[in-house]
Amino acid sequence: MPSALARPLARLIDELGKLPGVGPKTAQRLAYYILRAPGPDAEALAAAIRSVKTDLRYCSVCFNIAETDPCAICSSDERDAFVVCVVEEPLDVLAIERTGQYRGRYHVLHGAISPVNGVRPDDLKIPQLAERVKRGGIEELIFATNPNLEGEATAMYLAQLLGGSGARLTRLARGLPMGGDLEYADEVTVSRALEGRRAVS
């Protein structure tokens, strides 16, 4: 049966459909939008997509995605090199940067331990972290992996691995979200918040 779709359009729909969160209908709508968009817009999109693959690299120190190696944070004199915050994904760096409070550096693992998905410690940037700690000069490691099963598994593995390194090991606190209501929190969150309660000063 001859396809009613011109081949370039069909190809674009297929490619868009591979994106996370994009189903067949959305892919079609996006493809037609791109088709009808003014020339420079579509070109700019294509160039932006190409550029993330060609102009970005991993920082060889923290493994964040950056334009330069080492990245801006790792090469900045204003960032405290004694404190390293360990996160799962580059987006987590953004989350912590948004606080404007953190003056240390980072280490991006690019995932969390999950044997079901075939992810074991050596598949992450864990050997590189151990190496980095061994080189010395790190006084505190903050484990900021997600508070879920895989994130906890990763944090505990790191704690075991780096326990003897002399660096202070800390974990982000868990508990109630700001602006939330206690009565709507689930029991696990509330019991963690109870465990982590602090004296009011």
List contacts with another protein (CB under 8 A).
23-24, 113-116, 118, 120-121, 149-150, 152-153, 156-157, 160-161, 187-188
Nearest to 166 by CA among 129, 146, 187, 138: 138
Minimum CB distance to another protein smaller for 139 or for 152:
152
Q: Kindly compute the dihedral angle of the four CA atoms of residues 42, 44, 50, 51, in this order, to the nearest 10 degrees.
A: -170
Minimum CB distance to another protein smaller for 52 or for 116:
116
3-class SS of residue 168: strand
Minimum CB distance to another protein smaller for 11 or for 120:
120
In 46-120, beta strands by DSSP E? 57-58, 65-66, 80-87, 104-108
What distance in Å separates the CA atoms of residue 75 and residue 21, rounded to the nearest whole number? 36
Q: How far is the CB of 155 from another protein (least distance, A)?
A: 9
Minimum CB distance to another protein smaller for 84 or for 113:
113
* Angle of CA points 90, 195, 142, to nearest 5°: 30
3-class SS of residue 90: helix
Q: How far is the CB of 70 from another protein (least distance, A)?
A: 30
Q: How far is the CB of 149 from another protein (least distance, A)?
A: 6
Q: How far is the CB of 91 from another protein (least distance, A)?
A: 23
Q: How far is the CB of 23 from another protein (least distance, A)?
A: 7
Minimum CB distance to another protein smaller for 100 or for 115:
115
3-class SS of residue 119: strand
Output helix, strand, coil percentages for the chain, rounded to the nearest 5.
45, 15, 40
